[in-house]
Amino acid sequence: MTSHDERQVTVGAVLSKVPEVTIFFWVIKILATTIGETAADYLSDNLGFGLTGTTLVMSVLLIVVLVVQVRARRYVPVVYWLVVVVLSIVGTLVTDNLTDKYNVALETTTVIFSIALAATFITWYRVERTLSIHSIYTRRREAFYWLAILFTFALGTAAGDLIAERYGIGYWKAALLFGGCIALITFAWRYLGLNPILAFWMAYILTRPLGASIGDYLSQPKADGGLGLGTTTTSLIFLAAIAVVVAYLTKSKKDQVVVTVPSDE
């Protein structure tokens, strides 16, 4: 899904700070969200960092990679997707801290992050008059963009756990449910005239619980409804897959995009 909403009156062109929305975008996004689920569990449990320690370490790493991303003058696949992966892990940890450490109900965290995301979108639109991914060529818009993505990860984690675990649907059934919802959004965008920007963000939000459900299904023990691959193996498989696709995009530049700048900007 793409959302070219800029006017055609152009005073110049700049390289976007984000990739073109292609099939590669969605593939890496789902892979990254899966890692967000499994890597958070791996770092917290297997390496003995604990929930608090893992959150601190990953938050510092997020700040570092975000600084590199924001200072870059154009979209760099390795940097951009590293930010997405780390954001996915941090978003998972934010929800896990609230539910596991502070005993906040998943229903409550789902509502909290829904409100936070809605507030981000409303403020972003009021300030910039667009929510298009193809308008990310200023630092202020990029700040709104990454904040929105953080909340999509936190919301997706809460909603995914709520449906798959609290409501007892199970991991693979939850994955089918979220995948089916994304398919319906895609159909509505392509054939029923659903606004492309709305369609993009709806699908983007749903890829988080989709990826989380896939990650849990692969990594969790068979007794808990998973395949028992473990968080280490699952994380390594998906990291390798991301590395291959990002290397291809870095060489081919298939997802590079030039943005036209409206005359009043």
Q: 200-237, pLDDT tens digit by residue?
A: 999 999 998 898 888 888 988 888 888 999 888 988 99
Domain coverage including residue 16 = 10-262
Tell whether 3 is covered by a domain. no
Tell whether 4 is covered by a domain. no
Tell whether 59 is covered by a domain. yes
Cα torsion 214, 215, 218, 223: sign: negative
Tell whether 209 is covered by a domain. yes
Give the residue with greater pLDDT, 52 vs 62: 62
Question: Cα-flanking dihedrals φ and ψ of residue 141, to 5°?
Answer: -65, -35
Q: Which pLDDT does position 5 carry in this prediction?
A: 39
To 5 degrees, how large is the angle CA 229–CA 249–CA 17?
105
Tell whether 1 is covered by a domain. no
Please give the mean pLDDT across all residues of the chain. Answer: 88
Answer yes or no: is pLDDT of 30 > 70.
Answer: yes
Around Cβ 92, how many Cβ atoms within 10 Å?
Answer: 32
Q: Which pLDDT does position 87 carry in this prediction?
A: 94
Answer yes or no: is pLDDT of 263 > 70.
Answer: no
To 5 degrees, how large is the angle CA 83–CA 87–CA 88?
120
Cα–Cα dist 70/79, whole Å:
10
Tell whether 173 is covered by a domain. yes
Give the residue with greater pLDDT, 181 vs 48: 181
Answer yes or no: is pLDDT of 43 > 80.
Answer: yes
The stretch 122-139 carries a mean pLDDT of: 92
- Chain Cα centroid distance, residue 168: 24
Q: Which pLDDT does position 169 carry in this prediction?
A: 87
- Which residues, 6 or more positions from 2, have their beta carbon under 8 angstroms from its beta carbon? 20, 21, 133, 134, 196, 200
How does residue 1 score in pLDDT terms, banded at 50, 70 and 90?
low
Each residue of 74-86: pLDDT tens digit?
899 999 999 999 9
Cα–Cα dist 1/197, whole Å:
8
Helix (H) or strand (E) holding 262: strand 258-262
How does residue 90 score in pLDDT terms, banded at 50, 70 and 90?
very high
Answer yes or no: is pLDDT of 161 > 90.
Answer: no
How many domains are contained in the chain?
A: 1
Tell whether 2 is covered by a domain. no
